[in-house]
């Protein structure tokens, strides 16, 4: 088993407070449904990647999300009160470290419905070393879209604008040169209205694509605008 002690950790906001930046194009019920189908896509990919992982840990205060994870046989860490992604990930890393100090974790955001088994395979391979950090930078805002680290507490999670540089420096301070994956498709999540067109251009076989298309958000994209899709599956280290 490639990632016998590598866990995927998925922090999930309550669906009713998710994707507030999309309020201009999606009403609250639509945003809640979008949050749900994105999580389902992520969890399905992680289920298909189970041979690579020790397990999947979903951190959430949302009962519906917890039920979706448990239906798939995944572990759930309930937040008594949502306090942000970094707090949720700190709780998860602490639990993994307490269970096995050698465990690594791959942080998989709930708004990357297009994540693939190949992505998970590459990240677990990068955590083969007992001390390792791998980062996928966000296309916008200097953030971090994927973080993989081993042991789980080797650096503190610091997601948000400009977090890529914070994570990189934290790894270096721990004596690790992080693997940086310039992975354009994984560098884009679904957070702002402009992200919807970029995601739809990938034309993924996901619940999320089908849902957004059903809301009339799919557009006739010029071939020249499909550069994001052309990058799908590519990475460099």
Radius of gyration of the chain (CA): 17
To the nearest whole number, what is the mean pLDDT of the chain?
Answer: 89
- Does residue 51 belong to any structural domain of this protein? yes
- Does residue 118 belong to any structural domain of this protein? yes
Segment 154-195, tens digit of pLDDT: 999 999 999 999 999 999 999 999 999 988 899 999 999 999
Residue 147's SS3 state is strand
Distance, CA of 202 to CA of 18 (rounded, Å): 22
- Does residue 33 belong to any structural domain of this protein? yes
- Does residue 200 belong to any structural domain of this protein? no
Segment 100-120, tens digit of pLDDT: 989 999 999 999 999 999 999
Q: What pLDDT is attached to residue 4? A: 66
Q: What pLDDT is attached to residue 218? A: 57
Global pTM reads: 0.89
Distance, CA of 164 to CA of 38 (rounded, Å): 23
Residues 190 and 208: beta-carbon distance below 8 Å: yes
Among 174, 219, 177, CA closest to 201: 219
- Does residue 234 belong to any structural domain of this protein? no
Tell me: pLDDT of 226 over 60: no
Q: What pLDDT is attached to residue 87? A: 95
Segment 55-72, tens digit of pLDDT: 999 999 999 999 999 999
Identify the domain containing residue 19 by its residue range. 6-180
Tell me: pLDDT of 21 over 90: yes
Distance, CA of 169 to CA of 163 (rounded, Å): 10
Q: What pLDDT is attached to residue 216? A: 80
- Does residue 76 belong to any structural domain of this protein? yes
Percent of the chain topping pLDDT 90: 83
Q: What is the CATH number of the domain that holds 38?
A: 3.90.550.10
Segment 80-89, tens digit of pLDDT: 888 999 999 9
Mean pLDDT value of segment 195-205: 93
- Does residue 190 belong to any structural domain of this protein? no
Number of domains in the chain: 1
- Does residue 191 belong to any structural domain of this protein? no
Q: What pLDDT is attached to residue 158? A: 96
């Amino acid at each position: 088993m490639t990632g016998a002690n590598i866990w995927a950790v998925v922090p999930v906001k309550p669906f009713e407070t998710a994707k507030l930046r999309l309020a201009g194009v999606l009403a609250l019920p639509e945003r809640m449904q979008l949050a749900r189908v994105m999580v389902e896509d992520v969890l399905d990919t992680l289920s298909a990647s189970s041979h690579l992982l020790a397990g999947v840990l979903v951190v959430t205060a949302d009962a519906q999300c917890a039920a979706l994870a448990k239906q798939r046989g995944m572990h759930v860490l309930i937040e008594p009160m949502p306090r942000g992604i970094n707090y949720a990930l700190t709780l998860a890393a602490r639990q993994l470290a307490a269970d096995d100090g050698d465990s690594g974790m791959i942080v998989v955001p709930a708004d990357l419905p297009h994540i693939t088994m190949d992505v998970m395979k590459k990240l677990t391979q990068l955590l083969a070393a007992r001390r390792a950090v791998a980062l996928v930078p966000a296309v916008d805002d200097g953030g971090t879209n994927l973080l993989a680290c081993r042991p789980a507490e080797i650096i503190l999670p610091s997601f948000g604008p400009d977090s890529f540089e914070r994570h990189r420096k934290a790894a270096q301070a721990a004596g690790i040169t992080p693997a940086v994956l310039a992975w354009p498709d994984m560098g884009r999540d679904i957070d702002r209205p402009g992200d919807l067109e970029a995601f739809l251009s990938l034309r993924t076989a996901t619940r999320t694509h089908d849902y957004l298309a059903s809301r009339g958000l799919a557009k006739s994209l010029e071939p020249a605008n499909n550069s994001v899709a052309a990058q799908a599956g590519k990475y460099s280290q």
